Structure 1
């Protein structure tokens, strides 16, 4: 058993060598019984150099094969340090800062961080909401407002006016519980309602603001509203303060650490903040091991990331 680590100093003591990182990864991934990524039912032979051979396919593999660590030239010690900082810092870390901290290029650090974000999209981190607690539903906009942009960066419509270019994000938070957040193309009810139906169990209690796209929720759920337009923020048990609390974490993190992100990568950043928020009650090592145990079948190449 590893000693519990609560700091970077403890982490470095727990994983002093590359082999110690490999051993820990094997314990989390296989629990003493190596499984071939090519044929899960195949017998496996242990070979030299931390390699294994799949009997049915004749292929060699190691614990990194088919994961976000596949074919990486960066030592696992640096990956572990990056994961520790990335998962425990409330607002994350920029690729420029990480590049300095672990002595890699900014491009490598950016790719590394996106591989970690990619691993967050795992069934272990997905939950349906509702039935027990009230689910708060709200949407927000990410990105600067057009009125605040330089005239050369404003997007004009066909009439010469300024177009709204912020990206909407839909959020659902079980009161005092998990958050699910998804980037959406628009705020139409045809877009929002199917996502809500997929993630919030029927007959749950839901709270929203007065936005009309939510009116049809009353047919599936017990629907309560607060009228933000009338400066009403709490109506008995109805409020959306919980999901708005998550929006504040997300926006302050993006503004303060990353400063800007493209619409193409926004969902990855949303997933990053969602997982950290959903594991807020975990201790540092528990969150670290949770993420590290869910890296299988998540290989991501650089070309796939930037395409």
Structure 2
């Protein structure tokens, strides 16, 4: 209650600056003047749950302390809940990580080079079967990383995401994929390396940073989660994106998760 609302705040019903007191047997607090009740967990992953907040905070800490992710089975063993409950908790925390991390545009004049690369996750990996999920990664060197699940590897699905998240005039480094050919026509300073020809670095042009990120994601999925469905893949990417963007300040991860709950709008 104090984290989300403070010691005192204006009551939505009577309008007075009030202190709120805990209501016995409920997860609510009531105004000292009119008795209007506020539920601090409303609009958070903890809403409509019978799992204790202590267990929720334990799982959130596990997500922040791990580099390779936390499986629902591990959560089940740690806090002693059913697998269904553990999976739901993990899913909601990943979605919340995406909300807290947010996404802003990267690049721009005078900024670092923006690396862009596609990756292919899941599927049976059999010849002739195009069943892998295509994901796009955008990272500014020394800055933020953005990930998106996209429909295909074609330029018509790749370029709109780059134009949405990378500022015009930015320097962009990619590999030789055909989907990136039109970047120069969109006003970007585009440099390429040809992995097919064994070229991985060309001066300042390389995609090593984003490829290292994708390598960590793939190893973590294979080692921790084993398999991830296409339906929920974006939430897993939110998790890795959150940790990647706070890698220089890991001590802030849990603090941000605990303090970023938005106040519900007054009705």
Which of 58, 76, 86 matches 1:81?
Answer: 58
Work out the CA distance in 1 between the residues paired with 2:15 and 2:168: 42
Which of 97, 100, 103 matches 1:120?
Answer: 97
TM-score computed with the length of structure 2 as normaliser: 0.87
The runs of at least 4 consecutive aligned structure 1 residues that moved more than 6 Å come to: none
In structure 1, the partner of 2:87 is 110
Contact 1:67 1:297 in 2 (8 A): no
Q: CA deviation at 1:42?
A: 5.2
In structure 2, the partner of 1:48 is 22
Q: Would you tell me which structure has more strand in proportion to its own residues?
A: 2
Contact 1:43 1:54 in 2 (8 A): no
Which of 270, 289, 296 matches 2:237?
Answer: 270
In structure 2, the partner of 1:228 is 195
Work out the CA distance in 2 between the residues paired with 1:297 and 1:117: 20
Contact 2:98 2:242 in 1 (8 A): no
Alignment coverage as a number of residue pairs: 256
Extract unaligned runs of 5+ from structure 2: none
Match runs of 1:185-196 below 5 Å = 185-196=151-162
Residues 260 and 32 of structure 1, relative CA distance in 2, 3 Å threshold: same
Extract unaligned runs of 5+ from structure 1: 1-25, 149-161, 299-307
In structure 1, the partner of 2:68 is 91
Could you list the per-position Cα deviations for residues 73-118 of structure 1 after superposition, in whole angstroms to 9, with x for gaps in the alignment?
Answer: 1111111110000121001111011111011111101000111011
TM-score computed with the length of structure 1 as normaliser: 0.76
Could you list the per-position Cα deviations for residues 197-223 of structure 1 after superposition, in whole angstroms to 9, with x for gaps in the alignment?
Answer: 111111111101111221111132111
Work out the CA distance in 1 between the residues paired with 2:10 and 2:146: 32
Contact 1:44 1:53 in 2 (8 A): no
Work out the CA distance in 2 between the residues paired with 1:272 and 1:206: 25
Work out the CA distance in 2 between the residues paired with 1:210 and 1:174: 19
Which secondary structure state, in structure 2, belongs to the residue aligned with residue 112 of structure 1? Answer: helix
Comparing 26-35 with 200-209, which one deviates more in the overlay? 26-35
In structure 2, the partner of 1:141 is 120
Work out the CA distance in 2 between the residues paired with 1:185 and 1:279: 28
Q: CA deviation at 1:62?
A: 2.1
Q: CA deviation at 1:291?
A: 1.6
Q: CA deviation at 1:127?
A: 2.2
Work out the CA distance in 2 between the residues paired with 1:203 and 1:41: 52
Contact 1:179 1:274 in 2 (8 A): yes
Residue 247 in 1 paired to residue 214 in 2? yes
Which of 200, 206, 210 matches 2:166?
Answer: 200
In structure 2, the partner of 1:217 is 183
RMSD of Structure 2 on Structure 1 (CA): 2.5
